[in-house]
Chains A and B, each alone.
Chain A
Amino acid sequence: MGIESNPIIRLNNIVKEFPGVRALKGVTFDVRPGEIHALVGENGAGKSTLIKCMMGVHEPTSGEIYLNGVQQRVKDPQQARELGLGAVYQDVNLAQSLTVGENFFIGNLPKTKWGTVNWKYIYKEAQKTLDELKINVDAKDTVRHLTIGQQEMVCIARTVHEKAKVIIFDEPTALLANEEVGILFDLIHRIKDMGVGIIYISHRLEEIFQICDRVTVLKDGAYVETLNVKDTNQDDLVKLMVGRDLTNMYDIEHFPKGECALKVENLTSKGVFENISFEAYKGQILGMFGLVGAGRTEICKAIFGADKFDSGKVFINGKEEHIKNPRSAMKKGVALLPEDRKKEGLCLGLSVDFNTNMASYDLISKCCWINLKKEHERTRHYIKEMETKTPSIKQLCKNLSGGNQQKVVIGKWLCRDADVMIFDEPTVGVDVGAKAEIYKLIEQLTRQGKCIILISSYLPEIMGLADEMMVISEGKLMGTLDRSEFMKDGKLDEERALRLASGISE
């Protein structure tokens, strides 16, 4: 299958410097035709910088790029496309209101000899590629009506259609539901069989062992090592990436159950979730597992007062509360870390300082006058406590990496010292090092007697951390597993959880 054949693309000793920072310190890396080559490293390791050098977004300070043995200068993204380099990013890059076919030819619509748009050609061509790749989407569908998973497949198909010889996948499974991941992997295998070289970037190390042939590790902008996947394992990779042993990052201390902090009775929102009842305790982590779209975020938003619900009761610390909006939930000691940190958790254009304090001015001001000294102190305190990497408290959040952005959001809620903290997918798109730090933080919070609700679609994470786990499917509570039931025959009983999540009752 060409595993030992000449590489399609080779990057030799790439150095990239920005004012004051050496983002890449001499990275050498190659991809062979028909190979799936993983690129791993913590946030800030240099993965996206390397990719951007490849795709013509940045010009390397020094070093060469060889395509099929010939040295090339990739001047800009347009040239990268012409040279056969393609990329599929996490933020689906399609025009939502146009059809799939239109997106294939966007900016370059083929014309008939009369000068009108040749729709027939567009849809025929687009459908051909979709069918070749066995993607179950009609070229005439409007993108907005497709699921995120389907949209991603369309992006991939578009890259293949543009005759890419090297395709970069950047966190492709981050937004996909579990069953869609399987479909994606099949598609990637088909592309591999076509002789395309694939670069696969993911924080989910198990995926690398599922489909990749080789893996290259970057750390702090430097090249560490390239290994054959079959010659290594997750623990060793993590050690190379981080320089320390993180295999037990899910292994946190568990604390005895305290009083009931939050009780929910028959919470119902028509068409979204129905008769949800549960109790969450101080010092405990209650996990909420389910497939994407199961309704967990909606349930928690309703408890937090961010969304309305039709019936049901919410009790906080034993007292029934009628929560009308997020402000009143916050006053009662509830905090919610939203799923989408960029759209719902942060004001990206504002500073770390601003974002950290924006939900707790009542705690640092007197008579509507904010005490700036206290504000800065708090920001610095949480930056230090969570080891958030930022050059200053005035740094704009849009310039931080995913893991550090998440830490700022957490800092915002820690400022309120809430009794009940709901974390909605806190580690999506966060690198291994930051993930471990967030887990340590959650452990610390439970040690202090806080009640944590953890929404996660990632079983190793949720089963590793939670004391109890609820499984939600299509808005219904399918069951609650105690920690002692997580393991079966010495392994995580993922099957049982997935069955419940798929709606199969026990």
Chain B
Amino acid sequence: MSEEKSKTTGKSLTSKLFSGVGPILLILIALFVVFSVIRGDVFLSGDNIQDLLLSTAVNGITALGMTCCIICGGVDLAAGSTIGMAAMVVSYFTSGQIAEGGLVPVFVAMLIAVVVGALIGFINGILINDGGLPPFIATIGMQIIIRQSINLIFEARIIAQLPTEFTDIALNTVFGIPVMAFVWFVLAIITWLMIKFTPFGRNIFAVGSNAETARLSGISLRATRCGAWMYSGVMSAIAGILLCARLGNGIPSTGSENYEFMAIASSVVGGASMSGGEGSVIGTFIGAIILQTIRNGGIIIGMNAHLLEMIVGAIIIIAVLFDKNSGSN
């Protein structure tokens, strides 16, 4: 009986193409082909590719953290305000407005911002695990609280005079690719290694798939959940730091433009399941590029910006439909 049944998991080319990241890779390639054919001169130019990479980086990094929360069975709707808080914190500690030459060296300021991100994630984790709050509610509440604390602490004013040492991050390249994109690539690799090779990463899957089984198997729900949301907090903080460098100033409204939803969209397009226990870093990586490519390429070929956003929304729905079908085979 077992020999007969093994034929059902045959690894034919078609099944490989249509499972896992196959479909979305095909979609990405198709998008590139379409845009290249229509306006290849602009779309494929060095400047545009750089621009594409820069704008994807911030979303892509946030999405890495979001994927961990989704795999863990929840979501981090506080990502946007964590981005904003990190941006303001790093601005505050490096700005010439506050202290001559900045309060602390740039690197220390970035570290403080990351720690703040981790702290926000920790609070989310405790609210969700010990407080028993649904992640949706806990993180939405934090989103509002953090956004308003930004306004309260920093008096809703832009922080300028950021050192060029910091803002140059958005301009520099390393090995020919923008530093921001490079950071994104490195973080994607780290995230992939973490969820595949570390017990903590595996535990995120276990808790997201069946928290009670995980608990009875000796996994600490609190450590895993706090860890997942802290990771998301750190990713959002890094994204916020980079975004701030690109903007050139500490702007209180940084991160308020639906970053959470783009991050969720990238994860779902990449194969994550909102019910937990499923998700892929490569998928999220490709998902983020797909969404940004549509925006970027779409503008270049002259499409209406609103129409573009509608298409982005439609893509999310189609991606989930596609995933459901391959999942039931």
**Which residues of A are in contact with B by a Cβ distance under 8 Å?**
18-22, 44, 220, 304, 306, 325-327, 329-330, 336, 338, 343-350, 354, 358-359, 361-362, 365, 368-370, 372, 389-392, 394-395, 412
Q: A350 touching B5 by the CB < 8 A rule?
A: no
Q: Does B209 contact A (CB under 8 A)?
A: yes
Contacts of B137-161 to chain A: CB distance below 8 A = none
Smallest beta-carbon distance A473→chain B, Å: 26
Nearest 9 CB-CB pairs, A to B?
A20-B7, A347-B209, A361-B199, A327-B218, A359-B217, A391-B6, A20-B8, A389-B2, A347-B210
- Does the CB pair A44–B8 fall under 8 Å? no
Interface residue stretch chosen among B79-87, B119-127, B165-173, B200-208: B200-208
Residues in A neighbouring B1, C-beta threshold 8 A = 44, 220, 389
0/1 interface trace, chain B 169-210, chain A, CB 8 Å (1 if under)? 000000000000000000000000000011110110110011
Q: Would you give 7 A-B contacts (Cβ < 8 Å), ordered by A?
A: A20-B8, A344-B216, A346-B210, A347-B213, A358-B202, A358-B219, A359-B219
Of all chain A residues, the one with the shortest Cβ separation from B278 is A349
Residue of A nearest to B198 (CB): A368
Partner of B199, one of A19, A330, A362: A362
Cα–Cα, bound, A343→B4 (Å):
29
Chain B positions within 8 Å of A, measured between CB atoms, are: 1-2, 4-10, 197-200, 202-203, 205-206, 209-210, 212-220, 273, 277-278
Give the Cβ gap from A56 to chain B, nearest Cβ, in Å: 18
Q: Which of B2, B8, B202, B214 contacts A361 (CB 8 A)?
A: B202
Taking CB atoms, residues of chain B closer than 8 Å to A390 are: 2
Main DSSP-derived SS at the B contact region: helix
The distance in angstroms between the C-alpha atoms of A306 and B198, with both chains bound, is 25
Q: Which of B8, B200, B209, B217 contacts A368 (CB 8 A)?
A: B200
**B210 and A359 within 8 A (CB):** no
User: In angstroms, how far is the closest chain A Cβ from the Cβ of B5?
Assistant: 5
B214 partner, pick from A44, A304, A330, A347, beta carbons under 8 A: A347
Q: How far is the CB of A44 from chain B (nearest CB, A)?
A: 5
Check B8–A326 contact: CB distance below 8 A.
no
Known contacts A19-B8, A338-B216, A347-B214, then 18 further A-B pairs from the complex at CB < 8 Å, ordered by chain A residue: A20-B5, A20-B6, A20-B10, A21-B5, A21-B7, A21-B8, A329-B218, A345-B213, A349-B210, A349-B277, A362-B199, A365-B198, A365-B199, A369-B198, A370-B198, A391-B8, A392-B9, A394-B9
Q: Are B216 and A336 in contact (CB under 8 A)?
A: yes
Among B2, B200, B210, B217, the one with the most A-chain Cβ atoms within 10 Å of its Cβ is: B217
From A18, A344, A346, give the contact of B8 (CB < 8 A).
A18
Contact present for A391 and B209 (CB under 8 Å): no
The CA-CA distance from A365 to B220 in the complex, in Å, is: 18
A343-B210 contact given A20-B7, A21-B4, A44-B1, CB 8 Å threshold: yes
* Identity of the chain A residue whose Cβ is nearest the Cβ of B218 in the assembled complex: A327
Kindly list chain A residues whose C-beta atoms are within 8 Å of the C-beta of B198: 365, 368-370
Give the chain A neighbours of B213 by CB distance below 8 A: 343-347
Collect the chain B residues with CB atoms within 8 Å of residue A391's CB.
2, 5-6, 8-9
Task: State A365–B202 Cα separation when bound (angstroms).
Answer: 12
B305 to chain A minimum Cβ distance, whole angstroms, is 38
**Judging by beta carbons under 8 Å apart, are B202 and A412 in contact?**
no
B215 adjacent to A326 (CB under 8 Å): yes
A357 to chain B, nearest CB (A): 8
